[in-house]
Amino acid sequence: MATGPRYKVPFRRRRDNRTDYYIRKKLLTGGGLRAVVRKSSRNVNIQFVKFGMGGDEILVSAVSRELKAMGWKHSCANIPAAYLTGYLAGKKAVKAGIEHAVLDIGMQTPAKGAVLFATVAGMVSAGLEIPHGDVFPAGERLNGAHIGGNIAADVEAVKNAIDGEKPKEKPEEKKPAAKKAAAKPAAKATAKPAEKTAAKKTAAKSADGTATKKPAAKKKVKEAE
């Protein structure tokens, strides 16, 4: 550690690389709400924070793991998940009466088209006003087309779930009913040979019965004579 009469020990959160007080002071002097975005290797966290002398007050929050309850089966830390988390947080903020916020990424390094700005794209799509430049990821990256698979369809399905829309029924679900209808004629076809065999057996029995009864009738006539 440096020593000397002019050395000033930084605040603990600055020493831990958790808070840049120079940027924080600029954000607070604006007097508006902050959209605080933090990411980890597994999740993305968004909070709408209001400054107060007693401490920051969290008004609305959203975490990417909330998407699992809406049918999301992919990573919760990639660009599509960050976009959906921003969209979810933006919808919550609009319902709470929030219309404008300023992005706060803390000590994280900004990069154009990264996960941090994918959250901003989601919040803007939800109807919030957040100052930004040309930093959003491309549309193909937001919907997950660069990842492949059915992730683009899953992104649209989760957005509909956030909006409260019911998913459309797939036409493939009607196929089992067609199979049952086709199975009925097969059952009828198997029943016909059984009826024929039964009729043959009854005819054979009746033929045997008449053959045995005729000699008995002749014997009665001879006895009468």
Q: Among 4-8, 97-101, 116-120, 216-220, name the one with the lowest average pLDDT.
A: 216-220
| Separation between Cα atoms, residue 123 and residue 104, nearest integer Å | 13
Angle in degrees, CA 6, 8, 9, rounded to 5: 150
Q: Among 97-106, 110-119, 121-130, 171-180, name the one with the lowest average pLDDT.
A: 171-180
Average pLDDT over residues 43-53: 95
For domain 12-168, the CATH class is alpha beta
187 — pLDDT class (breaks 50, 70, 90): very low
Helix (H) / strand (E) element for 44: namely strand 44-50
Whole-model pTM: value is 0.70
Looking at the DSSP assignment, which residues form a beta bridge with residue 58?
49
144 is written with which tokens? Answer: 């997950």
Instruction: Give the length of the chain.
Output: 225
213 — pLDDT class (breaks 50, 70, 90): very low
Average pLDDT over residues 144-164: 93
State yes or no: pLDDT of 191 exceeds 50. no
